[in-house]
Amino acid sequence: MKRIMGYIIITLLVMPAFLSCANLVNDPDNPEIEDRVFDVKLFGIWGFFFQSFTKHIDVVCAWFEEDGENPEYLTVFLQTRSLVERTESFEALYKVNWNFNHERYGVIVKIHPDGIFAGFEAYKDLGNNQYERHDCEGILDVEQGLLTWHVEKEMIGDLGPGDVLTTTLACALLRPWDATKGEGADIFKDLTSRMIAPPDERYGEDYCIQY
């Protein structure tokens, strides 16, 4: 019972703070995307018993930052409960994505048993499982459980001041992968979007580009 109460308190602490875009401060205390913890699902079904070994795909929050000194970059952060440098066997996939100008953009990284696979990337979703991909700088901070993508705005719709990123969401998942067959079906998954929720609570907050 004590443990359940603990999880309820943690859940309350990470519930979305509905701040207006103009008031947002770019820092981890005001993330655009917030998620429950201990909510990883196996084939869409939640189970308490596997939360302890799926903490590296348990999304806590994600947010965007800009730096006036380097206005040509957008930095995207994804905080998990824990990260690993190498997975045991599955592919771990992490992404944050959003809509801009009627197109879907995002950032992605995959971790395999031998480490980061194919690097950090930014993408534009072209539909039918096709993507325009761009390499970008990234950081895998195992100690903090934090992933960082440093993306040139030019690659993600040539963003400028006043542009707004909408329907923001983050996702982490585990799936089988092998060099010949490629990736298998998503087995364990954590999504931040909630389809069974009022429309304004389904996705994270919008992010307004400052520079």
Contact status, residue 96 vs residue 120, Cβ threshold 8 Å: no
- Chain residues 146-175 in contact with Ca ion, contact rule CB under 5 A: none
Single out the segment in contact with Ca ion by CB under 5 A; choices: 65-73, 138-146, 188-196, 198-206.
188-196
* CB atoms closer than 10 angstroms to residue 87: 19
Q: How many residues bind Ca ion (CB under 5 A)?
A: 5
- Chain residues 15-44 in contact with Ca ion, contact rule CB under 5 A: 35, 39
Q: Which is nearer to Ca ion, 59 or 159 (CB)?
A: 59
Q: Which is nearer to Ca ion, 58 or 91 (CB)?
A: 58
Q: Which two tokens stand for residue 183?
A: 């990736």
Q: Which is nearer to Ca ion, 35 or 66 (CB)?
A: 35
Q: Which is nearer to Ca ion, 79 or 150 (CB)?
A: 79
Q: Which one among 57, 59, 62, 147 touches Ca ion, defined by CB under 5 A?
A: 59
* 58 counts as binding Ca ion under rule CB under 5 A: yes
**Which residues, in sequence order, are CB contacts of 76 under 8 Å at separation 6+?**
62, 63, 64, 65, 96, 107, 148, 149, 151
Single out the segment in contact with Ca ion by CB under 5 A; choices: 15-23, 54-62, 95-103, 145-153.
54-62
The least distance separating Ca ion from the CB of residue 82, rounded to whole angstroms, comes to 12
The CA distance from 211 to 194, in Å, is 30
The least distance separating Ca ion from the CB of residue 14, rounded to whole angstroms, comes to 8
**134 CB-contact burial (10 Å; exposed 0-12 / middle 13-18 / buried 19+):** middle
The least distance separating Ca ion from the CB of residue 56, rounded to whole angstroms, comes to 11
3-state secondary structure (DSSP) of residue 22:
helix
The least distance separating Ca ion from the CB of residue 54, rounded to whole angstroms, comes to 10
**Which residues, in sequence order, are CB contacts of 174 under 8 Å at separation 6+?**
54, 57, 87, 90, 91, 92, 93, 186, 187, 188, 189
The CA distance from 107 to 178, in Å, is 22
Q: Which is nearer to Ca ion, 74 or 87 (CB)?
A: 87
Single out the segment in contact with Ca ion by CB under 5 A; choices: 69-77, 125-133, 159-167, 182-190.
182-190
The CA distance from 11 to 191, in Å, is 15
Q: Which two tokens stand for residue 185?
A: 């079906």
Q: Which is nearer to Ca ion, 12 or 22 (CB)?
A: 12
Site of interaction with Ca ion (CB under 5 A): 35, 39, 58-59, 190
